[in-house]
Structure 1
Amino acid sequence: MLAAEAGAARNTLLAYRADLEAARKALGGPVSSASVEALKSLGEQWSDLAASTVARRSAALRRFYGFLFDEGFRSDDPSSTLPRPKLSRPLPRILDPDEVERMLEGAAEKAQGERPVALRNLALLELLYGSGLRASELVSLPRRGVRPGSPFLILAGKGGKERLVPVSDRAHAAIAAWDAVHPGGKWLFPGGKAHLSRVRLFQIVRAMAADVGIAPDRVSPHVLRHAFATHLLSGGADLRTLQALLGHSDIATTQIYTHVDASRLVELVNARHPLARRGD
């Protein structure tokens, strides 16, 4: 159902499968026929897990039992007994613009030697920060996915939903340099028998941070995506535009980035709001 009707991406399907498997182990038997009493025990069994993990597993089970009830496989929906931990959304980790620029300058300096690995790494970094791609979206780009001179890239993101993302002149130049030494194949960033893995991308990004004196544990592909969003917002982008560029289905997800721009918003209210001018 998730694949055929909801159009869930492969990673989403794998996550649901893993959560249902974890529930099966905790229950000691089939999840589909679990009793209300058995489900009540999950809260205690999962008490040592992070609240976000418990919330995700419970959400997967609620979706599963809702499906069973709707399709007539169960006469009841026992999901009301599942744990509902309180969650507080953490603020995204970000880098300052000068820190990102240091990473870009360091990668560009290495790429001047025209070593294939250095040219590839610069192209990866330019797309991560300049386009705000998710790690999985970046590593799975096809060889000709970025068209020379085109200011946008059409991307199939989560759930197969297409969106336009910007491609800067700097990113185009880095991709062209990488393409000149590209080993060939289906993927823009090949690795092993397929494309570069997300784990390998994570390692590459952290190594580039360490090369310019930035603590590696502060940097990841997702942190660079956060930096893309935060710096765009600081530069004047509105939330709806940012939502479209990031591929968020709910603008509430995008609103988390407003915390970094509080000072600019206060200045905007003081300068533009009619009440701010009453004392003039």
Structure 2
Amino acid sequence: MSNELEAFLEYISVTKALSKKSVEAYKSDLSQIEETLAKPLITLESHTLLSTLSIYKNKRTLNRKLSSVNAFFEFCYKQHFSSQVTKLKFAKIPKLLPKFLSYKKIQEGLSLIDRSTWIGQRDYALILFLYASGARITECLELSRGDIEGEWLHIRHAKGDKERIVPLAKLAKKEIDIYLNMSGFDKEFIWCNYKGSKLSRISAYKITQKYLGVSPHILRHSYATSLITGGADLRVVQELLGHSSLLTTQIYTHIQKQDLKETVEVCHPMAKERL
């Protein structure tokens, strides 16, 4: 391993205080290049690097490698190890529309649940809650009873240690109350397994997979999609989802455009004409 690479790894570990996992990822990406070419990374030209990394056909994997290389060369420039910054362009990845379910499809899944037992009622309430709140599953499972105040939900364990308050549909709150009364558990947290312990991510995944055939995160996408196609302002949706950047939320506008396109194709007489 070259001296420059060792200095970079020490920098991101000590000065930047990145996690051990992140440091190991950088080390793996960059040392692999040096070992393959048997040369210090700092001496390599852009075309050599691109040729070496071209073996990665998965564009997301390739971009991760390129990101590591760019971070290394930026560090070298700032430390005066090199006189110019080598910046490699990322591979273009086509934007994929997030998968989502319609409210009708969610209702069909809910109709399959036997709500005569508290476990069934829990599953019913959980699915309704995820669709009504747009909460991430980690945020959902960390909720305590005091986090629901009337028709408002206080999400305290959000991504990036941020908090937010979002409205919660009356129906979701009603079904949660029924589930809590049926369960008989007097726990601070809301979502319990059959033993009365906190529900796990795996269990939550099995619940939504069983009745809807999707992961819990798809219900978050469904929540956002319903709001956007219903005419909600993009910045309001950003706040409700807890996105730090509007760019993250903007992917849902593609769904809105697709919805508009399909409406025109179905309803406008000229859309059916052929040249």
Length-normalised TM-score, structure 1 = 0.68
Residue 262 of structure 1: aligned partner:
257
How many percent identity over aligned positions?
A: 28
Structure 2: distance between partners of 1:4 and 1:174: 49
Give how far 1:168 is off. Answer: 1.4
Partner SS for 2:131:
helix
Give how far 1:263 is off. Answer: 7.0
Question: Which one of the candidate residues 134, 137, 140 is aligned to 2:139?
Answer: 137
Structure 1 residues 105, 86: CA separation in 2 closer, same or farther (over 3 Å shift)?
A: same
Residue 100 of structure 1: aligned partner:
106
Q: Which residue identity does 2:222 align to in structure 1?
A: A
Write out aligned runs for 1:74-89 (5 A). Answer: 75-76=81-82, 80=86, 84-89=90-95
Write out aligned runs for 1:8-157 (5 A). Answer: 13=19, 16-17=22-23, 19-20=25-26, 22-23=28-29, 26-27=32-33, 34-37=41-44, 41=49, 44-45=52-53, 47-59=55-67, 62-63=70-71, 75-76=81-82, 80=86, 84-107=90-113, 110-111=114-115, 113-115=116-118, 117-139=119-141, 141-157=142-158
Give how far 1:130 is off. Answer: 0.6
Structure 1: distance between partners of 2:200 and 2:51: 35
Tell me: higher relative CO, structure 1 or 2? Use CA pairs within 8 A at least 6 residues apart: 1
Structure 1: distance between partners of 2:208 and 2:256: 26
Structure 1 residues 120, 89: CA separation in 2 closer, same or farther (over 3 Å shift)?
A: same
Kept in 1, the 8 Å contact 2:228–2:256? The answer is yes
Q: CA RMSD in A?
A: 4.1
Residue 212 of structure 1: aligned partner:
none
Residue 272 of structure 1: aligned partner:
none
Give how far 1:125 is off. Answer: 0.7
Which 10-residue stretch deviates more, 236-245 or 82-91? Answer: 82-91
Residue 6 of structure 2: aligned partner:
none
Give how far 1:165 is off. Answer: 2.2
Structure 1 residues 195, 266: CA separation in 2 closer, same or farther (over 3 Å shift)?
A: same
Kept in 2, the 8 Å contact 1:156–1:163? The answer is no
Aligned pair count?
247
Question: Which one of the candidate residues 242, 248, 254 is aligned to 1:247?
Answer: 242
Residue 208 of structure 1: aligned partner:
211
Length-normalised TM-score, structure 2 = 0.69
Structure 1 residues 182, 34: CA separation in 2 closer, same or farther (over 3 Å shift)?
A: farther
Structure 1 residues 25, 136: CA separation in 2 closer, same or farther (over 3 Å shift)?
A: farther
Structure 2: distance between partners of 1:2 and 1:183: 46
Give how far 1:91 is off. Answer: 1.0
Which 10-residue stretch deviates more, 39-48 or 90-99? Answer: 39-48
Unpaired runs of 5+ residues, structure 1, are 210-215, 269-280
Structure 1 residues 205, 179: CA separation in 2 closer, same or farther (over 3 Å shift)?
A: same
Structure 2: distance between partners of 1:114 and 1:67: 59
Kept in 1, the 8 Å contact 2:73–2:86? The answer is no
Partner SS for 2:154:
strand
Give how far 1:36 is off. Answer: 4.7
Higher Rg: 2
Q: Deviations over 1:6-46 (max 9, x none)?
A: 999xxxx58735633542663477xxx85453995586357
Q: Deviations over 1:255-276 (max 9, x none)?
A: 22123323776899xxxxxxxx
Structure 2: distance between partners of 1:80 and 1:48: 20
Partner SS for 1:153:
strand
